Every structure is written in structure tokens, then in C-alpha cells.
Structure 1
């Protein structure tokens, strides 16, 4: 059995977040290829089915990466103020990266879903310009990958340091105890 599972978890998580980011950026490119008319801050454009598919795939992959990272990272929580003051550096890092991963997930998913929904309509839509929503969501996927991997590593380090070390008892007589 593999003793150190960290690379086996971190590499697929990073790949999923990078793929989600690339799909978000590709969705933006596909969206920009459709016919649009811009007048100041207002814009009329056709929906792009290709951008819809790419954006939806990015949303699903990002969500799966977040769920997997959180499930495999374990539960790191603070129950009280005193518990917070007595925590180790690894636990504080794990909590900070967990919060950052949730913030970037919320921002990336919001932007990716909004950009995807703009392309879900089968008719021309007019309104305020929504430029670069999908690409910004895609870029946030890269940051999410860094934060979720940092969370996983620090959570596992905290869990590992909390385990008692095996004690070796020596018997001065040389006979087994």
C-alpha cells in the first residue's frame, strides 16, 4: 500500500482545476466568436451553444474537484475560541486555505454559471456588456486549485502530527516484557 498518498491526490486535483480553467477560457473564446453588436455599455449578441457546453463542463469539473479535495482532506474545524488559540500552525494553515478555497469556489462558480446561463438562451439577448465573465471564472479555477491543494497538504500534516508516536520500551534486563 502507498504510504504517501499526497501526490496521488494533489495531481488529479490540480489537473481538474486546470482543465476547468482552460474550459472557462475556451468558453469565453467561443462566446466571442458569435455575432454581437456593441453600443457603449450595451450589447446585443447571439447565444453560443459551444460556450454553453464548455462553461457547463467547467462548472461540473470545478465542483467535483472541490468536493473531492474537501472529502479527502478531512474535517478540520475549530469548536471554540480557546481551541483556536491552542491550534498548531498546520491547523491554522488548513483553516485559512479551506476558507480561501471556498471563497474562490464561490466566485469562480458564480462567474462560470452566469456566463454559461448567458449562452443558454436560443435567442439574441441584449443588455449590459458581460465581457470576460467566463475567462475570469476560468482564471479563478487556477487559484482554487492552488488553495485546495494547500488545504489538503496542511490538513494531512495536521492530522499526521496529531497522531501519537509509537513508543519504544526498553527493558534493562534484555528479556521481553
Structure 2
């Protein structure tokens, strides 16, 4: 039964992160549909409500997937005395946890920057900001890989 639950959790994490990645890429496409005037490095553009909504949804799904992986993966950091003396499986779990946090922070930051640039009250001119949504969406897919690896190794360590 525990094995079936673990498979379900892994599939849920992958589904949430993949959906977030797809929404991030669709937000980039919606943003590119709006009118914009570009002169060298400077750009004036209209905000896209669709890109705003898709960006918020992508950021929320990424956060849910991250919280789910960390809560259900257990606290492998809490039981670690010294990471250098820990067995390789615990070291792998810690590495995946660190990469998961780094990727989530960067991906969430990019999705939030792209989302805030598309707020209704924000028709702006300035330096061009391209590909925040698409890079954030790609990082969602990478987050899925490390989150599943973390959950798998951490839950393996917690199993009796």
C-alpha cells in the first residue's frame, strides 16, 4: 500500500509541475500576442490579462508541488548529524532537496516577475524583459525531476 501511495505522490508532483510548466509557456505566448513597440533595447508594451492569469496559476501550481514534495518527503535534514558521514542515499536526498529549493526559488521568481509585468495597471516602457515565463516554465519541468528524486530517496530512507 505504501508503494502505491509513493507512486501516486510522484505522479501528482509530476502532473502539478508539468501543468505549471505548460501554463508558464502558454503565458509567454499570451504575452507575445499583445502589442509592443521596440526600439533597440527599449520596449513599450501593453499588459496581457491572459498572461497574468496563466502566470499566477503556474506559480501557484509550482508552490503546491514544492510543498507537497517537501511535506510528504519528510525531514531528512532533521535526522542528519553530519552530511559527510551520512550514507550515500542520504547525501543524494540532501542534494536533491537543495537543488529543488534552488530551482523553485529561481522558477518562482521568474514566474512572479513575468506575472507582475502583466498587471493591468502596468503599461510600461523600459528595458526589454523577454522569456521570463518560458524559462520559469522550463524550470518547473526540472523541478519535477528533482522533487520526485527527493521524495523517492527521502521516503526510501524513512521506510522501515
User: Do both proteins adopt the same fold according to a TM-score greater than 0.5, normalized to the shorter chain?
Assistant: yes
* Structure 2 residue aligned with 1:152: 151
* Structure 1 residue aligned with 2:137: 138
For residue 157 of structure 1, report the CA deviation from its aligned partner: 1.5
Counterparts of 1:25-174 in structure 2, within 5 Å, are 25-77=25-77, 83-160=82-159, 163=160
Where 2:125 maps in the other structure, the secondary structure is strand
For residue 78 of structure 1, report the CA deviation from its aligned partner: 6.0
For residue 147 of structure 1, report the CA deviation from its aligned partner: 0.5
Gaps (5+ residues) in structure 2?
none
Whole-angstrom CA distance in 2 between matches of 1:153 and 1:35: 45
For residue 87 of structure 1, report the CA deviation from its aligned partner: 1.0
For residue 79 of structure 1, report the CA deviation from its aligned partner: 6.8
Offset from partner CA, 1:54-77 (integer Å, 9 cap, x none) = 000000000000001100000011
Whole-angstrom CA distance in 2 between matches of 1:69 and 1:76: 12
* Structure 1 residue aligned with 2:10: 10
TM-score (norm 2): 0.95
Whole-angstrom CA distance in 1 between matches of 2:2 and 2:113: 42
Root-mean-square deviation over aligned CA pairs: 1.4
Where 1:91 maps in the other structure, the secondary structure is helix
Gaps (5+ residues) in structure 1?
164-177
Q: Runs in 1 of length 4+ with deviation above 3 angstroms?
A: none
Whole-angstrom CA distance in 2 between matches of 1:64 and 1:112: 14
Whole-angstrom CA distance in 2 between matches of 1:96 and 1:74: 15
Where 2:121 maps in the other structure, the secondary structure is coil
Where 2:2 maps in the other structure, the secondary structure is coil
Whole-angstrom CA distance in 2 between matches of 1:95 and 1:56: 29
Where 1:84 maps in the other structure, the secondary structure is coil
TM-score (norm 1): 0.86
